[in-house]
């Protein structure tokens, strides 16, 4: 089973078990989803439950928020996180705030899925990593599943949450293969997980970067360096206790993500420019018994430029049409 299959199976379970659940978004029906995640669901559940929407993120995200206020449990798919900015007002000023603005009277149980990350050479408008920005917004949860079982389980958990949940699926993970237990169901969210124990450095990451970090940790182990790899899993709420405990053990931290260097949640945790490594997140006090921690902190991040387009000539030629999301580009096309 692949990562995309696990998401599809979770949506299928939810659609079968709860009549309030429906999927809406661009090309989720007849086309089967931009990343083929919803392939076959239209034939199984029909156009009332699998709804193709106009190319207007603000409109269909707003419709999903309205449907959730009316008692439904919508799964709203945004093609990539770049396009979610067109619905930012709906997400930040409506979904995230209505519970507070109504004095606790109105929950907004909307779940929004979107692809994130680069690596497919889909150019400047399809390759960003904006999850750190959304993690800055109170009133929503931000999930970043890195494994097949969590891609499946987090979706089911999100549908049970009474408040807005955003799920960021790294596009490079859709072809990830693995096993999904027959009894797989909802998983706990809100806590980080140590994926590999270590003593020399804490590598803090999430999403597709988890697999790079684990590979690097294996290479370091061959040189006698034991890296502890921590998968954040959830960016909001952020499990600073697990981070603090890890850094307290290793006294060093490396933060790995695909976002740009500045303006993100993790930028405040970087090494101080004067050369004194300081962990400035909320976990610093706990790691050092209430005092400022002097543990060395580094971060790897994406280059601060627009990602390049695909080098495949046909993909470049047909970029303005539908060919770039079909079989025209062997670099991208889903298998």
Instruction: List Cβ neighbours of 198 (8 Å cut-off, separation of 6 or more).
Output: 217, 226, 227, 228, 229, 250
Residue appearing with tokens 């684990």: 214
313 in catalytic set: no
Give the integer Cα–Cα distance in Å for 298 and 266.
Answer: 10
Contact 294, 278 (CB under 8 A): yes
Three-point CA angle 271, 276, 281, nearest 5°: 45
77 in catalytic set: no
Residue appearing with tokens 């549908």: 159
Contact 169, 8 (CB under 8 A): no
Token reading at 144: 């970043």
Give the integer Cα–Cα distance in Å for 267 and 136.
Answer: 12
Active-site residue, from 57, 169, 258, 270: 57
Active-site residue, from 9, 26, 77, 126: 126
Q: Is 288 helix (H, G, I), strand (E, B) or coil?
A: coil
Q: What is the largest CA-CA distance in the chain?
A: 60
User: Nearest-CA neighbor of 20 among 67, 68, 72, 69?
Assistant: 72
229: left (phi over 0), alpha (psi -120 to 50) or beta: beta
Active site residues: 57, 126
């Amino acid at each position: 089973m692949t990562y995309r299959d696990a998401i599809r199976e979770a949506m299928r379970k939810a659609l079968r078990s709860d009549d309030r659940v429906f999927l809406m978004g661009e090309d989720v029906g007849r086309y089967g989803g931009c990343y083929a995640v919803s392939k076959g669901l239209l034939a199984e559940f029909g156009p009332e439950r699998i709804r193709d929407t106009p190319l207007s993120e603000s409109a269909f995200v707003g419709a999903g928020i309205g449907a959730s206020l009316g008692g439904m449990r919508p799964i709203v798919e945004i093609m990539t996180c770049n396009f979610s900015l067109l619905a930012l007002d709906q997400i930040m000023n409506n979904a995230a705030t209505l519970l507070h603005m109504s004095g606790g009277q109105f929950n907004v149980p909307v779940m929004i899925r979107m692809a994130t990350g680069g690596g497919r050479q889909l150019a400047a408008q399809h390759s960003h990593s904006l999850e750190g920005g959304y993690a800055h917004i109170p009133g929503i949860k931000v999930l970043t599943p890195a494994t097949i079982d969590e891609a499946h389980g987090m979706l089911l958990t999100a549908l049970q949450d009474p408040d807005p949940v955003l799920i960021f699926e790294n596009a490079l993970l859709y072809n990830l293969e693995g096993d999904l237990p027959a009894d797989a169901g909802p998983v706990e969210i809100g806590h980080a997980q140590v994926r590999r124990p270590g003593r020399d450095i804490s590598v803090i990451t999430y999403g597709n970067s988890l697999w790079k970090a684990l590979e690097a940790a294996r290479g370091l182990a061959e040189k006698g360096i034991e890296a502890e790899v921590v998968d954040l899993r959830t960016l909001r709420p952020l499990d600073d206790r697990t981070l603090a405990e890890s850094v307290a053990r290793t006294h060093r931290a490396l933060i790995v993500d695909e976002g740009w260097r500045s303006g993100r949640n993790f930028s405040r945790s970087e090494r101080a420019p004067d050369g004194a490594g300081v962990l400035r997140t909320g976990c610093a006090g706990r790691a050092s018994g209430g005092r400022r921690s002097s543990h060395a902190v580094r971060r790897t991040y994406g280059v601060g430029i627009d990602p390049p387009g695909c080098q495949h000539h046909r993909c470049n030629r047909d970029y303005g049409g539908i060919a770039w999301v079909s079989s025209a580009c062997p670099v991208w096309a889903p298998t």
